[in-house]
Structures are given as C-alpha cells and as structure tokens.
Structure 1
C-alpha cells in the first residue's frame, strides 16, 4: 500500500505542488521539489518495513538451556503534528515510518496548510490505506491547543507523539506527553551557523548560503541564521553574495520568474522587520536590501525583501533569534577556536554548515559543532536516507533514515527456558 501511495503522489505531483504553493506561498518550482522529497519518504519506508527485525541473542546459561531473542512491535496509535513550511514533506516523513512500523496515526496539520494534508490522505485512501490507519484532524489556531492538548495528548490510547515546530510548543507537548508516558520525538527550532574559512571555495560558499538561506523565503528550520566569515575573505564573500542576491526575484509563487515568495502571514513580516530594525539600532550595518516592485507590493502579499546585515555581533537580536525570513546576518572571525566557541554559544543545535578545503579541519569542526547535522561544503543536507534531528533545545529523536522507523517501534525481549 505504501508503494501504491508513492505512485499516486508522483502521478499527482503537479496538483500537489499547486496546493502547496497556494497554501504556503513558496515558488512553484520549490513546491515541485517538495513533492518529490515527500514521496521519497513513502518509498523509502515501504522498503524499510522489510528490514525492521529483531535479534537472536547468545544464551548466557552455562549449559545453553535458554534461548533469547527480541522482536519489533508497533508502538501504538500515533499523533503526528506538522508545520506549515513544508506541508507535504513534513507529513510524509512522519506518516511513512508510522505506517511502515504497523501503527495507526492521526495527522494534525498546521492551520495554515490543511489542504496539503487532506490531499495526501485522499491519495493514501485511493492507494488502499484504510481510514482507520490514517486520519487527518484539522483545526484553526484558536482551537488547536485544546484539540491537541485535551484530546490527543491526554488520551491514553495515543502512545507516540511526533512534532515539528517551535521549541516552546515542543516543550509544552513533552510536558503533556509525560503525564501519560507517551514516546515523544521533537524536531524543534534552530539557529544554524554557516562558517566560511579563508581556504574555502568562496563561490561555492556563496551558492550554498543562497540555497540554505532563501529557500522558502528563509522559512526553514535548518536555514542559515548566523554567518561567520574569516576576516581575510569577509569582504570578498559579502561582495559576491550581494551580487548573487541581485538576481533573486520576489513575487507570486505561481510566476515562473519568482525565486522568493511571501512569508506565511503579515505577523511574520512584522516579526522579521522588528528583528532587523532592532539589530540595526544596536550597530549592525544594512549592507544590502532587495527592492520589491510596485506590482508585487500592491498585490498584497506578505513579502519581505532579501537583506544582508554586516558588522553583526553575537549579542544582537538577529543572532539570538531564529529569524525565519530572508535575512543574512554576517560576522567576522579570526581563529577556528573562536568561531567554534561562538557557533556553539546558543541553546539550539539543529544544523551547522562549514566551508573549507582542509580535511583535518573538516573532522575537527564537524565533530566539535554542537548540532545534530553538519553540511560540509554543501547546504542541501536533507534527504530520506540521512537521520534528521537536533540536540539541545532543537529536539530529540531522528526522522528519515533507518533510525526514523525505530522511533515508531518497541523492542520486546523474549527468554525461553529449555
């Protein structure tokens, strides 16, 4: 059934992409990429279901009079709570392993993007997945807390919760999960550093920065939030970044020329503007800001112009907040030891990125960064094969990969006396 669902998703990729663009505003070309990304989890976990097996354990008995083994069993009904920024992929990354492990699940999508979730369910049912195995529960923002907190989290029948969203909401859900001892996995906020050393390929680092900062208008949990550039290449990096950003086009996601879509709500625009203003007020320099055409501005969308701030220090608001918008904040550094200390000086630890040609440094820095994922000389690190997740206040557990299905399985130990 999972393989048939994967096929249905691919067959309906254009419609799914259009729904995601309509709901979330992202450029259609990005939405089409998200559909393929979403489908990859269903395909992967359809195969991973065949590889989730127990173990046979050597007997500790002196006369070999016991047989020991383990079996993998479903954890039980699952509550899956997803965000609006990747309404298709964040859903399948949870539903795929939950169903592959043999669990039923209830998906609670973000209030901003319910149609993407309902479209996935329609295709799942068409592929033969029963209603009883996969339900979608929609709610507006005013009622979502009651539905999740009072219904899903308080119900003893729900044995697992998987959440992607803000750290504050994740902590609240973990507190609620503790009352009925539910298994919990959380993919929460980030404050990802990009570190560019003086031996880096600067052109490649600029392209990586653009990709990881402006995808979905910066509304990505692993988006670059803090850019540290070694002082000897700082000006070169900034100049090349500004030149590259001048080619970005802001507009409606359905316009084929658009590379940057809107933010999700007017409140999101106000929040990003507030962080930028507060950062400039304490000494940062507004080095570049794109222009929004009159036609785009008059369309009424929630647009924010791609922006570069330099002369940023660690205590400034833009370095202390997950900005979730198209703003690049850049700071100079001198030594490897200094930048590692500064990069790790945050309660978050989801992703980090490093550009360098020094292989020894690759090992030192990737191991020293206090994050769950590191991209070295690349920033496109998300795929179905790699374990996705963070440390510290960025969450617990992993999604995707062979580790992802384990989040939805219990290991039962059996001892047989002969």
Structure 2
C-alpha cells in the first residue's frame, strides 16, 4: 500500500486533518494507495506558498528567457520519467498503457512550446490619437491560479493548464480528482527535481467540499481553471464570480460524428469507433452521437457494429487490450443507468449493453461497447453526456438536417464531418456550433491548436497562444511627453 502526502512549498506534508482516503485500481478493484485528505487549512497553506513564490524569491527573479529554458528542462524530465508516470496513470484510472504512453510521450511538447513562448509575451506601443503622449502596454502574470483537474486524463489535462500558466509567470495550486491524485503528485515531484522552485506548484488532494470550494473562494487566487462536468463548472463559475476571479472552464460534450454518403467509409468506420470507444468513451470529445446519411445508414451501421464487436477488453497493461474499465464506481453505475434509460426510451440495442464480469474482465468495472440505433435526438441518450462506451445512432437526409441535429444540443465542444466534398467540408465546419470541427479525422489535438467549447461546453481556450494569454493581464501606460495642459474638465 503506497501512501501519498500533500505537496506544499516543495515539501511532502501531512494534511492538517491527518486523514487519508483510498484509491483503487479500476481493473482489479484492489486498493493500492492512500491519499492525504486535505482541507481548508491546507488550501490556505498552499495558496500562501504560491503567493510567496509569485512575489519573491527565485521565480519572479527569472527573466522570461530563463523561465522558458526552465520549461524546456521540465519537458526533458517528463520525457525521462514518462513510462513510470504512464504506469501510475493506468493504475489510477484504468486507461490503456498504450494510450498513456502516447500521452506521456507527447506531454513534453507543451512545455517546449510554451517555453518558447515565454519571452515572446510582449506588450505593444500604441499610436495614440492624442498629441504629446506616448502610450504602451505591458503584460504580467494574472497571479495565483487554482487548477482543478478531472479523473479521465489527469496529466494531459493538467499540462494543458500548467504549461501556459508557468510560461506566463503564474504560480499554481492544483486540486486533482480524488479518484486519480497519485499521478499528479508524482508529476509535480518530477518538475521540482528538474529545478522548478518550491512553492511555484503545489498540490492539495481531497474532496470538492474540503479543497475545491475553499480554493475557488480564496481571495488571493486570481484565476480558476477547471476541467470537468458542466454541472460542477456552473457551480464554480457562480462561486468564482463572488470574488471576480478569472475563470476558464472546459466542460462536457455530446459531439456529433457526421458521416455523408460520399465519405471514405473505411476511414469513417475507424474514426467512429475510435471516437467513441477509445478511452472507453471517457472523454469530453467522445463522438457519442453518430449521424449517418439515410442512403448509407444500414450498411454503415452494420460495419460499425461488426468492428466494435471485435474489441478486446481486459487488462489495460496488456498491449492487445483495446477497451479498458470504467474509472470510478459512480461512473460505472451511471453508464449502466443510461443504457437502461435508452432501452426505456425505445432505442434499439444493436450491440452490447451489458457489464462484463468474466475472463480478463473479472474484478474490474467493464461495460461492453454499446450501440443504439433508432435514437431520437430529443432523447436523454442523445442530449445528455454519458461519458462511457455508448453510441447513439441518428439518421439524417441532407446537410441542412445534419446541421440542425448537430446544433440541437446544449453542448458545443467538438464535431466530426466525413465527406469527400471539400465545399461541404467548409460549409459544415462553418455551420456547426462547436469549438472544434474535425474533417475526415477525429480526436486530433495539438499544443499548437486552440481547444475549447461554446454553449454549455465551457469558457475560454486551452492550447495554442490563446491559452497563455488567459494567464496574463494587460497594463496600459500613458506618458506625457509634451502635451499642454488644457481645460481639466475636458478629456483630450
């Protein structure tokens, strides 16, 4: 049994509560670690450490170029420890080792990219319309940032927030999901071993009421960056508004994956399968609504069902496994409940629909890849985020109907379009109300490309230069270089 402590001001410390909570392996169901249960006093200590590191000591003394070089060293350190961190992720959240190795191999690129941007975050000289004045702007870090991360891809989604925040010169306090805290604690220790000054990054583990709420309320936290459900995001937004905090919210989705009859159907089948069943459907951009043009509906669905039925379920450490377990007990129950809801709503079960408790899946939280046809877009299955391996198939006749169905959702995170018509690709990309549209591919992400949603899918953007700007504030400076004093009551 491993025991993890809080990480505050460069030290592993026991929580003021003295308590711990368990974490289990979603594959075996076995408890493998205990995590320190933090509380409001621990949040106070962590914010104090972050504020001290922001305002004095080694971190603010770094030039922007030196800060950038440090981020490069952090990326190198992560690359060296990638396999170790990937295995902790698998044990923590049950994702496939092949996927986690891919993520950990890619994560250093965020630190390299934002390290390169660190000394290019410049202000402007403004050509003022008033004679006798010189005007310019500067940028500075927004301050202490509270980062609240989910359980489905803890280190990747932490990196999307942490790398630009550090490039901007901010300091942070991280509250990871109580279900997947271990990898974050290991990750931060790697960063500090690589030279990150103490107090710049702190981790307080625990439950939302004990840690998350005090972090959002804290008067010296300038920004909250959160990834998770729209329900929690709505609460955080309202709570943060009381102290006028900056807020970035990357929330849920009900993404349409739209297949036209002129598409490369082999590629589209693979894209649909990976879009919903990769990561066991536990991703905010899961292509959980499959929209298929009526002229190819039956043929295409048959091909999707046939391929999905071959999915190998089992040990996420086995390189042959294609679908792993559901991460948390609550999520497991939720997915099974949505399957029953879909049946009660009259959807036709084309594949799966059951839990798996035998063979290599015995002891874990496994649900068969599940496909429903005859789904009405007004149904709960089509409108609510399941966050599991459940696909809702909806037919459409033409572009106009496809757009109408795609946009008939309170979410707007991602969408896929499969077509050989380049004009259609541009028309659909313009018409669909989402933050990202993938054409003839799905789930591609990059540190270079902004990512985020519209409507109930969130506020702000992660990745790309847009992300680092969200961790900066602008100051305007006016200098009188010869303007004559006129009527003090007239703005000149």
Residues 128 and 348 from structure 1, CA distance in 2 versus in 1: closer, same or farther, beyond 3 angstroms? same
Q: Verify the 8 A CA contact 1:246 1:290 in the aligned structure 2.
A: no
User: In the alignment, which residue of structure 1 is the partner of 2:232?
Assistant: 169
Q: Deviations over 1:221-243 (max 9, x none)?
A: 00111111000111221122122
CA distance in 1, matches of 2:313, 2:369: 9
TM-score by length of 1: 0.96
Is 2:108 the counterpart of 1:108? no
CA distance in 1, matches of 2:273, 2:122: 42
Which ranges in structure 2 are unaligned for 5 or more consecutive residues?
1-69, 482-492
User: In the alignment, which residue of structure 2 is the partner of 1:89?
Assistant: 156
Q: 1:193 Cα shift?
A: 0.5
CA distance in 2, matches of 1:303, 1:152: 34
Residues 90 and 43 from structure 1, CA distance in 2 versus in 1: closer, same or farther, beyond 3 angstroms? same
Q: Deviations over 1:329-363 (max 9, x none)?
A: 11111121112111111111111111111111111
Is 2:325 the counterpart of 1:239? no
Q: Verify the 8 A CA contact 2:352 2:368 in the aligned structure 1.
A: yes
CA distance in 1, matches of 2:379, 2:174: 38
User: In the alignment, which residue of structure 2 is the partner of 1:191?
Assistant: 254
User: In the alignment, which residue of structure 1 is the partner of 2:367?
Assistant: 304
Q: Deviations over 1:174-207 (max 9, x none)?
A: 1111111110010011110111111111111111
User: In the alignment, which residue of structure 2 is the partner of 1:344?
Assistant: 407
Q: Verify the 8 A CA contact 2:97 2:317 in the aligned structure 1.
A: yes
Could you tell me which of 23, 26, 40 is aligned with 2:95?
A: 26
Q: Verify the 8 A CA contact 2:292 2:393 in the aligned structure 1.
A: yes
Q: 1:153 Cα shift?
A: 1.7
Could you tell me which of 67, 82, 86 is aligned with 1:17?
A: 86
Q: Verify the 8 A CA contact 2:77 2:190 in the aligned structure 1.
A: yes
Q: Verify the 8 A CA contact 1:106 1:134 in the aligned structure 2.
A: yes
Q: Deviations over 1:359-408 (max 9, x none)?
A: 11111111111111111111032111110100011100000100010010
Q: 1:290 Cα shift?
A: 8.2
Task: Give the 5 Å matches for 1:4-403.
Answer: 4-62=73-131, 65-139=132-206, 141=207, 144-149=208-213, 151-289=214-352, 292=356, 294-298=358-362, 300-403=363-466
TM-score by length of 2: 0.82
Runs of 4+ in structure 1 over 4 Å off? 290-293
* Greater Rg by CA: 2
CA distance in 2, matches of 1:283, 1:114: 39
Aligned partner of residue 159 in structure 1, secondary structure: strand
Q: Deviations over 1:83-112 (max 9, x none)?
A: 010011111111111111001101111001
Q: Verify the 8 A CA contact 1:37 1:383 in the aligned structure 2.
A: no
Aligned length: 411
CA distance in 2, matches of 1:287, 1:281: 15
Q: Verify the 8 A CA contact 1:343 1:369 in the aligned structure 2.
A: yes
Q: Verify the 8 A CA contact 2:309 2:369 in the aligned structure 1.
A: no
Residues 326 and 355 from structure 1, CA distance in 2 versus in 1: closer, same or farther, beyond 3 angstroms? same
Which ranges in structure 1 are unaligned for 5 or more consecutive residues?
none
CA distance in 2, matches of 1:408, 1:231: 46
CA distance in 1, matches of 2:216, 2:342: 39
User: In the alignment, which residue of structure 1 is the partner of 2:485?
Assistant: none
Q: Deviations over 1:137-168 (max 9, x none)?
A: 111x3xx223221x212221100110000111
Q: 1:215 Cα shift?
A: 1.6
Aligned partner of residue 224 in structure 1, secondary structure: coil
Aligned partner of residue 348 in structure 1, secondary structure: coil
